């Protein structure tokens, strides 16, 4: 039994090393897709707007808009990376090219091949989230007030958020056909971004109670609010226990759907 588990672990590690080699060869596209979206948003809303007199007042007195969006930008960077690193390649590999067949021949259960995709996407999500911090510190023309209230909380939230991003990418990559990739961005990626409490705290939706509760189905809400609790604790945010529980459940639910659909489309 131990020898079998060791063999599985070795094969799992081999798939990870293979993906890292591919990532290293495509480092420029990885950096571009990681940095471009938050770079443009930070530049326009926290640098250009203040200089042309269009500063957005979105928070309590004395709190800049740049401070409010920092947690959300980190979260959305992780989600974009999960989709770009897992969903898009997987949709192509499961499509006409059937490149996924090389992976499922690895000496480990097919379900673990799907889990490896999720884990590798999560690791890229952590890198994507970390890449946002220099942008929101160096570019804004207004002060950014970041204070880490709890490093353990920040680490746990980032790990859970990255796993949730990987699980989301796995689920979308196995559910969406290659010919519908453009539709996925229109119907999934754009709505979860604008309704993910990226640009505003969840508590500010109180005047719209129907919308405040409707967005709770969006996992990006809990990522943004969790990072807000860890990075900008003085701003209103959800209870920590609720956010961590929701992220755990979202990872399990979407990961389960993704693994089952992966098995269905590779074994069938």
pLDDT at 97: 61
pLDDT at 85: 84
Mean pLDDT of successive 10-residue segments in the chain (268 residues)? Answer: 73 83 80 79 77 60 73 88 84 71 76 89 88 80 77 93 93 83 79 89 92 94 93 88 94 94 82
Long-range contacts of 4-7 (CB under 8 A, 24+ apart): 7/107, 7/108
120: its two tokens: 């590798």
pLDDT at 54: 57
pLDDT at 62: 60
Residue 54, CB half-sphere, CA atoms under 13 Å: how many?
Answer: 7
**Alpha-carbon distance 268 to 263, whole Å?**
8
CA dihedral 6, 8, 9, 15 (to 10 degrees): 150
Contacts of 55 (CB under 8 A, 6+ apart): 49, 65, 142
pLDDT at 59: 53
Phi-psi region of 263 (alpha: psi -120 to 50; beta: other; left: phi over 0): alpha
**Alpha-carbon distance 166 to 6, whole Å?**
24
265: its two tokens: 């489309």
From the number of C-beta atoms within 10 Å of its C-beta (0-12, 13-18, 19+), residue 147 rates as exposed
Look up tokens 């980032």; give the residue.
158
């Amino acid at each position: 039994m131990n020898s079998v588990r060791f063999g599985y672990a070795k094969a799992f590690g081999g798939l990870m090393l293979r993906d890292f080699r591919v990532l290293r060869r495509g480092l420029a596209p990885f950096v571009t897709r990681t940095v471009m979206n938050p770079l443009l948003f930070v530049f326009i809303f926290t640098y250009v707007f203040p200089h042309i007199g269009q500063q957005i007042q979105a928070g309590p007195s004395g709190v800049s808009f740049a401070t409010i969006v920092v947690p959300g930008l980190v979260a959305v960077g992780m989600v974009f990376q999960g989709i770009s690193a897992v969903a898009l390649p997987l949709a192509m590999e499961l499509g006409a090219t059937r490149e996924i067949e090389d992976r499922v021949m690895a000496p480990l259960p097919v379900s673990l091949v799907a889990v490896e995709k999720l884990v590798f996407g999560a690791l890229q999500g952590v890198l994507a989230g970390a890449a946002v911090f220099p942008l929101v510190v160096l570019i804004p023309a207004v002060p950014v007030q970041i204070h880490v209230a709890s490093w353990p909380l920040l680490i746990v939230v980032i790990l859970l958020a990255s796993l949730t991003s990987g699980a989301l990418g796995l689920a979308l990559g196995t559910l969406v056909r290659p010919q519908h990739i453009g539709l996925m961005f229109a119907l999934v990626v754009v709505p979860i971004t604008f309704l993910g409490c990226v640009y505003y705290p969840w508590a500010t939706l109180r005047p719209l109670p129907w919308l405040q509760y409707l967005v709770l189905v969006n996992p990006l809400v809990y990522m943004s609010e969790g990072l807000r609790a860890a990075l900008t604790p003085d701003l209103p945010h959800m209870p920590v226990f609720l956010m961590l529980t929701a992220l755990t459940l979202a990872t399990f639910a979407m990961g389960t759907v993704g693994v089952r659909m992966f098995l269905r489309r590779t074994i069938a």
